[in-house]
Amino acid sequence: MDYPRLALRGFLALLVVGVLAPAGARACQIPVFRYALERWPGSAYEAIVFTDGALPAGEAEAFKAMKRTAKGASNFEPTLVDVSGRMPEAMAKLWKAQAGAKGPWLVVRYPEADEEQELVYAGPFTAEVAKGLADSPARRELAKRILAGETTVWVSVETGKKEPDAATAKLLERELKRLEESLKLPAPAAEDDAGPKMLSELPLRIAFSVLRVSREDPAERMFVAMLLNSEKDLAKRKDQAIVVPVFGRGRALGALVGEQVEARQIAAAAEFLTGACSCQVKELNPGFDLLMSVDWEGALKLKEGNEAAEEK
């Protein structure tokens, strides 16, 4: 992903909104990262369990637990499909594509994915896999930092090679510290401005941190999979640095890979996220939502704003 294009993409999105919005549409001085945190709920992943007849007892309990989690503060929809019966056409096609699938089988798809989109996960459905679907230590830490007021958490998916991984972390920490000191937040809107207002009491500041995640950590299996399968062939780049800036309610901006992990690209992403939210429509902004289990609204204690709902 070439981050200098983000400014162009955001500008094009703003043009679209400008064309479609009524005259006198309100300007927004809220930074992108904060607007996303307060107004953009995570889009729902699909978690489809294929079974030939009834699920075995252990897997049945795991599926019930998944359903309870999904009814809480997680952004995914669980579906159980019995392959021994009549299936909807789309499910039959998806099942047919699962070459060599045996026993209860889980397929996890990104929100609103088309047939060309890589799957997050396709493999045996077990209690352990179900438990790690929406939650993991790294995702809890990520949410903790964002809810403490951090602007962006830069997730570094490590190669497993000590020296290159340490060098990537050192580069990120150096550049992010420099950006914390040099970047400025948009000027606050006047009190009588009719534009969007911030909806939480969370202090507004520029603060970045690095979260290092191992590809080999079994507890982070699903988290790493959703990061690396978000772009074609990304998972194959095992010897290259992969860094994903995460902001808002677990929204990943996109991956910096290999030589892209350098000062200019890091600065471009940081400038975009700390700049004014010129385009308030989530789907017209770059990035994708991560699957997480976090009560964002409860934690933020959102106030009633001058907008009825999220602008999607």
Q: Tell me how far apart the alpha carbons of residues 34 and 48 are, in angstroms, rounded to a whole number.
A: 33
Whether 76 contacts 130, CB under 8 Å: no
Candidates 7, 34, 12; CA nearest to 284 is: 12
The helix/strand/coil state of 85 is coil
Alpha helices in 183-262 (DSSP H): 221-228
Q: Tell me how far apart the alpha carbons of residues 265 and 288 are, in angstroms, rounded to a whole number.
A: 19
**pLDDT reported for residue 95:** 96
Beta bridge partners of 212: 156
* pTM of structure: 0.88
**pLDDT reported for residue 87:** 94
Q: What angle do CA 293, 50, 59 make, to 5 degrees?
A: 65
Domain ranges for the chain: 4-41+137-300, 45-131
Q: What is the dihedral of CA 228, 232, 234, 235, to 10 degrees?
A: 60
**pLDDT reported for residue 116:** 82
Q: Which CATH class is domain 45-131?
A: alpha beta
Written as six digits, the tokens of 100 are 């060599």
One DSSP character per residue, 267-300 reads HHHHHHHHSB-----GGGSS-EEPP-B--HHHHH
pLDDT in tens, the chain (312 residues): 444 334 333 333 333 333 333 334 456 889 999 999 999 999 999 999 999 999 999 999 999 999 999 999 999 999 999 999 999 999 999 999 999 898 899 999 999 888 888 999 999 999 999 999 999 999 999 999 999 999 999 999 999 999 999 999 999 999 999 999 999 999 877 666 767 888 999 999 999 999 999 999 999 999 999 999 999 889 999 999 999 999 999 999 989 999 999 999 999 999 999 998 877 677 778 899 999 999 999 999 988 755 534 444
Written as six digits, the tokens of 67 are 């359903």
Over its C-alpha atoms, the chain yields an Rg (Å, rounded) of 20
**pLDDT reported for residue 56:** 95
Beta strands in the chain (DSSP E): 45-51, 76-82, 105-109, 121-124, 152-158, 208-214, 242-247, 251-252, 256-257, 288-289
